[in-house]
Structure 1
Amino acid sequence: MELNLLSGLLLLALLCLAMLPFAIPGVLEVLLALAIGAFVTAALIWFGWLPEDTSLVLLSLAMLTALSALLLWKPLRKLQKTGIRLQEDSAISDFVGTELILTELASKDSDSHIQFCGLEWRVRLDPTEMATTIEAGQAVLISSASVGFLLVKRKSF
C-alpha cells in the first residue's frame, strides 16, 4: 500500500481525533486544530485546489492549523471556564445529596472551606443555584463532588 500525501493527511487527522479523549487541556486544543487543518488540507487536495507538492501541503497544513487554533481558542476557553459540572469520582460520588452546615460564607465567585469527613474541602455554590451567596450556618446539600472540591445548593424544605 502506497502512502500519498492525501492519505497521510487523513491518517494524521484521524489519529489526532482518536487522541482527543486522552489529551490534557492545552494539548487538546492543538490536536483539534491540527485535525481540522489536516482535514481541510486533504479536502483541498481532493478537490484539486491544492497541488500535491509536499512544501505547499505542509505550508497549507501549518496555516490552516494556526487559523483553526485562533478561531477555536476563545470558544474553547469559554467552555472550559463555565465548568457547569465537575467530573465526579466514583469514590466520592456518594457524597452527592449529603447535607452540610456551612461554616463560612459560600459564593459562586470564590471558594470557601469546610471540614467534612475529617478533611478540609473547598466549597463553591453550584452554578444552577439561584442565590449568589449563602451565609454561614445555613444547611446546604452537596450537588457535585470532585477530589477536595464540593459544589453545594441551598437545601429546599
Structure 2
Amino acid sequence: MELNLLSGLLLLALLCLALLPFAIPGVLEVLLALAIAAFASAGLMWFDWLPQDASLVLLTLAMLTALSAVLLWKPLRKLQKTGVRLQEDSAISDFVGTELVLTQQARKDCDSYIQFCGLEWRVRLDPEETASVAETGQTVVISSAMVGLLLVKNKSI
C-alpha cells in the first residue's frame, strides 16, 4: 500500500481526533487545530486546488493550523471558563438521590464512614435533616456529594 500525501494528511487528521479525549488543556487546542488543518489541506488536494508538492503541503498545513488555532482560541477558552464543574456543584452530582444502608451511625456533628462505589466515604447527616442521628442499618438518601464527603437524609417513606 502506497502512502501518498493525501492519505497521510487524512491519517494525521484522524490520529489527532483520536487523541483529543486524552489531551490536556493547551494540547487539546493544538490537536484540534491540526486536525482541522489536515482535513482542510486534504480537501484542497482532493479538489486539485493544492499541488501534491510536499513542501507546499507542509507550508499550507502550518498556515491552516495557525489560522485554526487563532480562530478557535477564544471560543474554546470561553467554553472552559463557563463550563459546569461537577466537583464544586453537588446539586448536579450523579450520587444525589442514591439510597444507602448505613454501616455506622451518622450524626450531624461528626463523620462516620461507608463503603460506596469501591471507596470509603465520610458520611455526615445533612444539617437540614430534622433528626440528629441516623442509626446503623437505616436506609438514607444522599442529599449532597462533595469530594470525599456524602451528606445524607433519612429516607422518606
Tell me, yes or no, if structure 1 residue 81 matches structure 2 residue 63.
Answer: no
Tell me, yes or no, if structure 1 residue 59 matches structure 2 residue 62.
Answer: no
What is residue 69 of structure 1 aligned with on the other side? 69
Structure 1 segments unaligned to the other structure (5+ residues): 99-114, 119-137, 150-157
TM-score by length of 1: 0.59
What is residue 15 of structure 2 aligned with on the other side? 15
Q: What letter corresponds to residue 70 of structure 2 in structure 1?
A: L
Q: What letter corresponds to residue 49 of structure 1 in structure 2?
A: W
Q: What letter corresponds to residue 21 of structure 1 in structure 2?
A: P
Distance in 2 between residues matched to 1:83 and 1:116, nearest whole Å? 33
C-alpha deviation, 1:93, in angstroms:
5.3
Tell me, yes or no, if structure 1 residue 37 matches structure 2 residue 30.
Answer: no
Structure 2 segments unaligned to the other structure (5+ residues): 99-108, 113-126, 129-142, 150-157
Distance in 2 between residues matched to 1:21 and 1:116, nearest whole Å? 40
**Could you report, residue by residue, the CA deviation over 1:12-32 in whole angstroms, capped at 9, with x for unpaired residues?**
000000111111111111100
**What pairs with 1:59-138 in structure 2 (closer than 5 Å)?**
59-86=59-86, 94=95, 96=96, 117=111
TM-score by length of 2: 0.59
Q: In angstroms, what is the RMSD of aligned CA positions?
A: 3.2
Q: What letter corresponds to residue 81 of structure 1 in structure 2?
A: K
**Greater CA radius of gyration, 1 or 2?**
2
What is residue 121 of structure 1 aligned with on the other side? none
Q: How many residues align?
A: 109
**Could you report, residue by residue, the CA deviation over 1:101-157 in whole angstroms, capped at 9, with x for unpaired residues?**
xxxxxxxxxxxxxx9959xxxxxxxxxxxxxxxxxxx96x63x64x479xxxxxxxx
Q: What letter corresponds to residue 27 of structure 2 in structure 1?
A: V
- Percent identity reads 76
**Could you report, residue by residue, the CA deviation over 1:3-58 in whole angstroms, capped at 9, with x for unpaired residues?**
00000000000000011111111111110000000000000000000000001000
C-alpha deviation, 1:85, in angstroms:
3.8
SS across alignment from 1:78: helix
Distance in 1 between residues matched to 2:33 and 2:4, nearest whole Å? 22
Distance 1:9 1:117, change over 3 A: farther
Q: What letter corresponds to residue 54 of structure 1 in structure 2?
A: A
